[in-house]
Amino acid sequence: MPHASESSAPSAAEPSLVGEEYEVEVGPVAHGGHCIARNDEGRVLFVRHTLPGERVVARVTEGAADSRYLRADAVEIRNPSKDRVEVPCPFAGPGRCGGCDWQHAKPGAQRRLKGEVIAEQLQRLAGLTPEEAGWDGTVVPAEGDKLPAGEVPAWRTRVQYAVDAEGRAGLRRHRSHEVEPIDRCLIAAPGISELGIERRDWPGMASIEAIAATGSADRQVVLTPRPGARLPIVELDRPVSVLRVHERDGSVHRVHGRPFVRERADDRTHRVGNGGFWQVHPKAADTLVTAVMQGLLPRKDDTALDLYCGAGLFAGALADRVGDQGAVLGIELGKRAVEDARHNLQHFDRVRIEQGKVEQVLPRTRITEADLVVLDPPRAGAGRDTVTRLAALGARRIAYVACDPAALARDLAYFREAGYRPRALRAFDLFPMTSHVECVAILEPVK
């Protein structure tokens, strides 16, 4: 079966099939927010805006006569699924905003689809059944997100707006640089919506990132100007700090207000500067810390590693629990995130934060053993070399936080080669209406 990472771009020799329509029976969900179908010729189509079991008219959006598969949108639903609902967002649908994948599905159906994707990736890439992964097969909604069909949770505390040539703020269309102008985003958190970004003109801007902190009233916008453009006067409906991205090197500079926001999680306040990474759902940080700590069960004198540690969320939680007799080492690539982590954890005497790539810094530390490890790698995963080095430390337990089930499954296969197996796996729907899902896997050495 072809996968979404493979190219479906038309070749120079074969004619494009973009715009062609096929009536198809829709098969299972696939990783990436679409379902799989085949046309009468047996050609695979990845079809968005549909659900398993439906019969639809699919219009090709990418692919040529010699492509291994085609991408398509369902433009007519001939036989709808019982899980289908009227799309609540006026900007969703074929050729429109690409921010959400499952606006047309009931909330429970969205979670079932995400569970099917996780199960398929575990089986295909790691050779694991749900039972072997220690997973009950469910995807759990965040607190407050279990809403009736047709209602949308307003959860997104960080929104990246694109700006079109007329200065209108919007969101990117699916797999496109084109901008879909909007006047509101249903999944944006109240702290984002109340700024009124969509109701302003943004001449000369390429993008605007809006941030509404969790646990404080801090609001921030990060402006990326087009080359040579001047910053506009920022007058929004709520007080905000303003930062700008420098066009030469991508560095972020304060224009006015604080250069950071204060986020609250695990009963501590965390400084996150210059638009740095923080979990987007307001319940995500606490949800993940709880899952990780329940899985690891830290002891008072443990030594622990927090890899890809960001602003120090898990490192702080570990430091709290291992106490004065324990020790925590965090490793993070981003310079500003390291500064924030060191600030956030300055009252812990036995916490050290190192800057650099994990695969480069970890060997330099000359650490040969650890009791516990947390890793929260980027979407591509940790990779074989890092996994092998971690396994050699002989940790009692390892917690792997994953935002991509394919990367998680690949790394679980590497861990198995290195002598570790999953003890438990939990999945959380921290990105409702999208195809994204967060997982926490707890691993232990094979006995």
238: DSSP letter: S
State how far the Cα of 72 lies from the Cα of 20, in Å rounded to an integer.
9
State how far the Cα of 251 lies from the Cα of 345, in Å rounded to an integer.
24
Q: Do the beta carbons of residue 443 and residue 423 sit within 8 Å?
A: yes
- Please report the sign of the dihedral spanned by the C-alpha atoms of residue 182, residue 186, residue 189, residue 191: positive
Q: Please give the angle made by the CA atoms of 400, 6 and 111, to the nearest 5 degrees.
A: 45
Q: Please name the residue that has the structure tokens 């009252």.
A: 347
Q: Is residue 108 classed as helix, strand or coil in its secondary structure?
A: helix
Single-letter code of the amino acid located at 355: Q
State how far the Cα of 342 lies from the Cα of 348, in Å rounded to an integer.
10
380: exposed, middle or buried (Cβ count in 10 Å: 0-12, 13-18, 19+): exposed
Per the annotation, the verdict on 185 as an active-site residue is no
CB atoms within 10 A of CB 369: 9
Strands 260-265 and 21-30: unpaired
Q: Do the beta carbons of residue 165 and residue 81 sit within 8 Å?
A: no
Q: Do the beta carbons of residue 367 and residue 343 sit within 8 Å?
A: no
Work out the angle between the directed axes of helices 313-322 and 284-296 (0-180°, nearest 10).
40
Q: Which is the catalytic residue, given 35, 100, 403, 439?
A: 403
Q: Do the beta carbons of residue 319 and residue 351 sit within 8 Å?
A: yes
CB atoms within 10 A of CB 30: 21
Q: Do the beta carbons of residue 146 and residue 107 sit within 8 Å?
A: yes
Q: What is the DSSP string of 257-274?
A: S-SEEEEEETTEEEEEET
Name the helix (H) or strand (E) containing 181. Answer: strand 179-181
End-to-end CA distance of the chain: 35
State how far the Cα of 444 lies from the Cα of 395, in Å rounded to an integer.
8
Residues sharing a CB contact under 8 Å with residue 290, sequence separation 6 or more, in sequence order = none
Strand partners, 402: 439
- Please report the sign of the dihedral spanned by the C-alpha atoms of residue 380, residue 384, residue 390, residue 395: positive
- Residues noted as catalytic: 403
